[in-house]
Amino acid sequence: MGIMRTLVTMIVIAVPLFSEPDAALPGARIKLQFPELPKTLFALFFERDSTPQLYIALPQNYSPDRQFPLFVYLYGGDGGEGAGPGRGMDIMEGRDCIFVNMPLFKAKFDTNEPYKGRLISIEKDKEVICRAYTVMLKKVYETIPNIDTGNNIISGESNGAHSIAAIFENGDTYLMGLFRNIILAEGGYFYIKTYERYKDKNILYVYGDYEGINDWMGRKMRADLPLVIQKFAAAMETNRLNATPLIMTNTGHEVPKRFYPDIRRWVSAQLKK
C-alpha cells in the first residue's frame, strides 16, 4: 500500500521525495504533519497557528536492502518547527542513520514560568511529550520499513535533553524501547531519578566547562555544574550504567561544531557493537 494514502506530506523542493517504501532514494527527505497533535512549544512561544510536523532525511549511503537506525534530534530553546533534517545529520556527515528532527511540546505555556515559559518541566510536560512523540514516531515507522530499532539514537540539547529525561521519568515503555543510544547535551541529567530505566542503554552526556563565559549563566554553571556532574557520574556508576562523559572545553550552553567529530565517534562505536 502506498504511504501517500496514509500520510500527510509536504514536498521539499530540490531533494528527492519517496512515495513508496521500496522507491526511497539516498538523500530523500519528507515532512510529516500531525494536525491531531497540540501546538508545539515553538508555535506557543511565537503565537503561530502552525501544524506540528517532523522532518526526515535519508542518509547519502541509504539502501532499501539494509537497515539504518534513526537519529532523532531534539533542539533546545523553543525546539524549532521540525523543519530541516536536524543536527544529527551534521554530526554524522549525512551517513549511516535516518535523521529525524522533531519539535518540543509543553502541556501549558505560561510566560510567568522560567525562561518566559519555555523551560520544559519533567513533571508538568512528560505526558504531552510522550503522547506527541508516540504518535510521531509510529508514523515514522509506518513510512520507513527498514529501521534498525536496536541501534536507534535519540539526542537532545538543553530543553531537548529535558524532553528525553521526561520520556524516561514517565516510564513510557514504547518510547524507551525504541532507543538504545542516548545523548544528553547540556541538560536532562539534572532531572533523572529513575536510573534503573536506563539499564542496557548507552549514554553520552555532554557539557561545557563554561570557562571564559562570564555572563550570569556562565558564573552560575561554573559554580553549580561540577557538583551536578559529580552526582550524575556517581549515580551512573552505582547503577552500573554505560555512560560516557564529553567535556566541551571553553564552551557554554551550546554544542559547537568542533565537538561533532567526538559525538560522531561515540555514535559510530555504538553502531559497531
Would you kindly state where each structural domain of the chain is located, as residue ranges?
3-271
Whole-angstrom CA distances from 58 to 11, 135, 143, 208 are 15, 20, 12, 30
- What cell numbers appear for 258 in the block? 568542533
Q: Are 130 and 138 in contact (CB under 8 A)?
A: no
User: Which own/partner contact pairs does 42-50 have at CB distance under 8 Å and 24+ positions apart?
Assistant: 42/78, 42/79, 42/80, 42/81, 42/103, 42/104, 43/81, 44/106, 44/109, 44/117, 45/78, 45/109, 45/116, 45/117, 45/118, 46/78, 50/81
pLDDT digits (tens), the chain, 273 positions: 333 333 333 333 344 444 344 447 899 999 999 999 999 999 999 999 999 999 999 999 999 999 999 999 999 999 999 999 999 999 999 999 999 999 999 999 888 888 888 999 999 999 999 999 999 999 999 999 899 999 999 999 999 999 999 999 999 999 999 999 999 999 999 899 999 999 999 999 999 999 999 888 889 888 898 899 999 999 999 999 999 999 999 999 999 999 999 999 999 999 987
The amino acid that residue 115 corresponds to is Y
pLDDT score for 218: 87
Indicate the CATH number for domain 3-271.
3.40.50.1820
pLDDT score for 2: 38
pTM for this model (two decimals): 0.90
